[in-house]
Structure 1
Amino acid sequence: MQRRRVGTSGLTVSSLALGTMTWSRDTGPDEAGAQLDAFLNAGGTLLDTAASYAGGGAESLIGTMLGGTVSRRDVQICTKAGIRRTADGGLIDASRDTLLDTLDASLERMGTDHVDLWLVHAYDPVAPVEETLHALEIAVNSGRARYVGVSNYPGWATAQISALATRPTITATQVEYSLLQRGVEREVLPAADALGMGALAWSPLGRGVLTGKYRDAIPADSRAASEHLAGFVAPYLDDRSAGIVDALTTAAEGLDEAPLAVALAWVLGRPGVSAAIVGARTAAQLSPSLTAADLDLPPAIAEALDEISAPSIGYPERR
């Protein structure tokens, strides 16, 4: 598996990151351990998690592995803070005290003294950006985070926080990016490129839809059939997405590859993408993504997929 530089920083990561959103909830310790073993054996290094995943359960599971057979030196950890649980559900909170308290709790759960990349999980319209930046500065200066960045920020907010940052600089932005979701091409990715930030693409398989598993029906063991994830998949079970999946499947058949391999290769071939985050419920589901990591798409195939999935872009991005 290739290693790539994250933007213009000194941080290099594996081209695929292992996502842990399902860990400790849909994915138990044995399956999670099998996933991590397969990922490391394939040359992967970057684990992506968040304090909010399973209420901290995903990080705790990572901690048990790092305290067992997996060496901390063999993995890079990216975690996120800024979403705290309340009686009414999740609340975006990028205030200094919440961010730093969350980071300390994350480090304790994972049994480590630092994370390699720490991200603000979502844009907070209430907390002053200077306060959020101060928390990032404290994290780096104290050694608790090696690099920092943002996640799910709109383009203008990405540019704002990066422009105001001095030390540390904003290294990465983590955003949803796939053939089914290309909205970040309007402003976020151009901003990241101009500011020297690398992009980490979450859900590069279109929340699982680009595997082709939903072409005929909803499998009983799929996310779309899950009570807590059905709403996550539903936006991409529409006619537009179906047309893109059909084109992807045709391209994959012509290359004698699986649709998910072609979808991943498309994302990894996009300018500015440092890594694509792949997650699965089981190790068997993860395996095809790992074998597809180094596929290079023929330019004609990439261009055809670009055309069929192109987002609507108009004023002021394009005149």
Structure 2
Amino acid sequence: MERRAVGRSGLRVSVLGLGTMTWGRDTDEIDAAEQLRDFVDAGGSLVDTAATYGDGDAERLIGSLLGTKVRRDEVVLCTKGGVRGGPSGARADASRGGLLADLDASLERLGTDHVDVFLVACPDPATPLEETVSALRTAVSSGRTRYVGLANHPAWVAARAATLLEGCARDGVGLTALELEYSLLQRGVERDVVPAAASLGLGMLAWSPLGRGVLTGKYRRSLPADSRAASPHLATFVDPYLDDASSAVVEAVATAADGLGRAPLEVALAWLLARDTVASAIVGARTPAQLRTSLAALDLEMPGEVHAALDDVSAPEVGYPERW
């Protein structure tokens, strides 16, 4: 599997990342172990998780597999912190204490002394960005992580965080990665995050590259009983992409797939991986069979006219001030 540099850093990751949002809940230990082994055997390295996935069960499951199914040095571990649970629901907490406590807890669950990438999971308007950046610097300087970044943040925050870290460039700590949703059904990042990442030398990790599963085409005719859209805890996650606008894109992908003799999933991944700023597309397969389908997509190089047609049908609305 191809390895790509994450921005202008020395970190290199596999073009497909293994997402673990369902691990410990919808994906049991047996299926998770098979996925991880298949992924590494195919040349994959990036394993993406978060402190909140399954209330920590995803990290515990990964930790149980490191050293038994794969070696620690075979994978690039990426986890996220900065979300605090409570009686009134989850809330952002990117404070210094919150982030470092999350990272320490993740390391314990993962059974390792460091992760390769630590990301702030979402914006926290209640915490000054300077404090958040200070925590990221400490996370690197203390050896708990090798690289840091942001997930689900707007471009201006990424630019400001990168600037703040540059102010202490003597310690060698810089912003490295941005993880955001990016697919043919969600191209909002192209308005400002993608140009910012290119300018700042940041690598993009794309989550939900298959449009939360919708770009596989499984929802074109019906709602499969075993699908995420039929799941009580994931239905609201999928529902935004079951509208008419998304259906038009899915049909275009299906048409392209028929013409190329490939699966819609393969076309959707090939389109995204042709983006220069994308270091890795993180696929969240629930079963080993689903993961193998994604791994099979890596040899597809789409003709330019097909890529352009998909660009047109999925183009995001862009107006002022992005377009003057």
TM-score after normalising by structure 1: 0.99
Q: Distance in 1 between matches of 2:155 and 2:74?
A: 33
Residue 125 of structure 2 is matched in structure 1 by: 125
- 2:98 equivalent to 1:82: no
- 2:211 equivalent to 1:222: no
Residue 57 of structure 1 is matched in structure 2 by: 57
**Do the aligned partners of 1:3 and 1:15 also contact (CA within 8 Å) in 2?**
yes
- For residues 253-284 of structure 1, the C-alpha deviation after alignment (integer angstroms, 9 at most, x for no partner) is 11111000000011111120000000111101
Tell me, what secondary structure is at the counterpart of 2:138? helix
Structure 1 residue ranges without an equivalent (≥5): none
Residue 307 of structure 2 is matched in structure 1 by: 302
Structure 2 residue ranges without an equivalent (≥5): none
Please list, as runs of the form range in 1=range in 2, the aligned pairs for 1:81-120 lying within 5 A after superposition.
81-120=81-120
Shift of 1:164: 1.4
Residue 165 of structure 1 is matched in structure 2 by: 165
Shift of 1:67: 4.0
Count, aligned residues: 319
Q: Distance in 1 between matches of 2:294 and 2:319?
A: 34
Q: Distance in 1 between matches of 2:213 and 2:275?
A: 19
**Do the aligned partners of 2:203 and 2:277 also contact (CA within 8 Å) in 1?**
yes
Q: Distance in 2 between matches of 1:163 and 1:305?
A: 35
Q: Distance in 2 between matches of 1:235 and 1:107?
A: 34
**Do the aligned partners of 2:121 and 2:152 also contact (CA within 8 Å) in 1?**
yes
- For residues 73-117 of structure 1, the C-alpha deviation after alignment (integer angstroms, 9 at most, x for no partner) is 111100000011111111111000010011000001011011011
Please list, as runs of the form range in 1=range in 2, the aligned pairs for 1:181-192 lying within 5 A after superposition.
181-192=186-197
Shift of 1:193: 0.8
Please list, as runs of the form range in 1=range in 2, the aligned pairs for 1:177-256 lying within 5 A after superposition.
177-256=182-261
Residue 153 of structure 2 is matched in structure 1 by: 153
Q: Distance in 1 between matches of 2:86 and 2:211?
A: 29
Aligned-pair identity (%): 61
- For residues 195-215 of structure 1, the C-alpha deviation after alignment (integer angstroms, 9 at most, x for no partner) is 000100000000000000000
Shift of 1:286: 1.2
Residue 262 of structure 1 is matched in structure 2 by: 267
Q: Distance in 1 between matches of 2:188 and 2:276?
A: 14
Amino acid at match of 1:174: E
- For residues 206-226 of structure 1, the C-alpha deviation after alignment (integer angstroms, 9 at most, x for no partner) is 000000000001000000000
Q: Distance in 2 between matches of 1:259 and 1:219?
A: 17
Q: Distance in 2 between matches of 1:68 and 1:307?
A: 46
Give the superposed CA RMSD: 0.8
**Do the aligned partners of 1:2 and 1:294 also contact (CA within 8 Å) in 2?**
no
Amino acid at match of 2:84: R
Shift of 1:158: 1.4
Amino acid at match of 1:71: R
Residue 136 of structure 1 is matched in structure 2 by: 136
- For residues 218-251 of structure 1, the C-alpha deviation after alignment (integer angstroms, 9 at most, x for no partner) is 0000000000000000000000111000000000
Please list, as runs of the form range in 1=range in 2, the aligned pairs for 1:24-39 lying within 5 A after superposition.
24-39=24-39
TM-score after normalising by structure 2: 0.97
Residue 284 of structure 1 is matched in structure 2 by: 289
Farther-moved stretch of structure 1 (39-48 vs 161-170): 161-170
Amino acid at match of 1:273: V
Residue 17 of structure 2 is matched in structure 1 by: 17
**Do the aligned partners of 2:79 and 2:118 also contact (CA within 8 Å) in 1?**
yes
**Do the aligned partners of 1:67 and 1:111 also contact (CA within 8 Å) in 2?**
no
Amino acid at match of 1:259: P
**Do the aligned partners of 1:268 and 1:275 also contact (CA within 8 Å) in 2?**
yes
Residue 66 of structure 1 is matched in structure 2 by: 66
Q: Distance in 2 between matches of 1:56 and 1:3?
A: 28
**Do the aligned partners of 1:82 and 1:120 also contact (CA within 8 Å) in 2?**
yes
